[in-house]
Amino acid sequence: MTAHDDYRNDEWTPEENALFASLPRERVPSAELKVRTLEAVRNHVGATRLGRGSSRKNFILTAAACLIFIAGAIVGFAAARRVGRSSSEPPVTASNRAVARSDAPILILQPEGHVVWY
């Protein structure tokens, strides 16, 4: 493949260039071509046109999707505003497989130096 700068428009022979030059620049399509084109478009559109029931079906599906979305938003909002345990309730007791033991030594790490941000 050649680069855009290397493109040369000499791929046609002088006879072919003369034939191209003799062609009309604009041309009105024939009536037969118009009829064939319109028939092809009508056949294609007729094959892809949806029935009357599908718009009702699409409306029902869209409404159902909106309701599901709204219900999910309400549940999410309610879950976010949920109140936690009150402080008057006793704390949760650990089972016999407690993660931390009260008799284990407490290790407190002291910082080695200070970082000063300017």
With contact defined as beta carbons under 8 Å apart, do 20 and 12 qualify?
A: yes
Confidence of residue 81 (pLDDT cuts 50, 70, 90): confident
Domain residues for the domain of 69 are 52-80
Q: Name the domain count of the chain.
A: 1
Residue 71 lies in a domain: yes
The pLDDT tens digits of the residues spanning 1-21 come to 555 556 566 788 889 989 988
- Tell me the residue type at 117: W
Residue 106 lies in a domain: no
Residue 26 lies in a domain: no
Residue 66 lies in a domain: yes
pTM above 0.75, yes or no: no
Residue 114 lies in a domain: no
Q: What is the CA radius of gyration of the chain?
A: 39
First to last CA, the chain: 58
With contact defined as beta carbons under 8 Å apart, do 38 and 46 qualify?
A: no
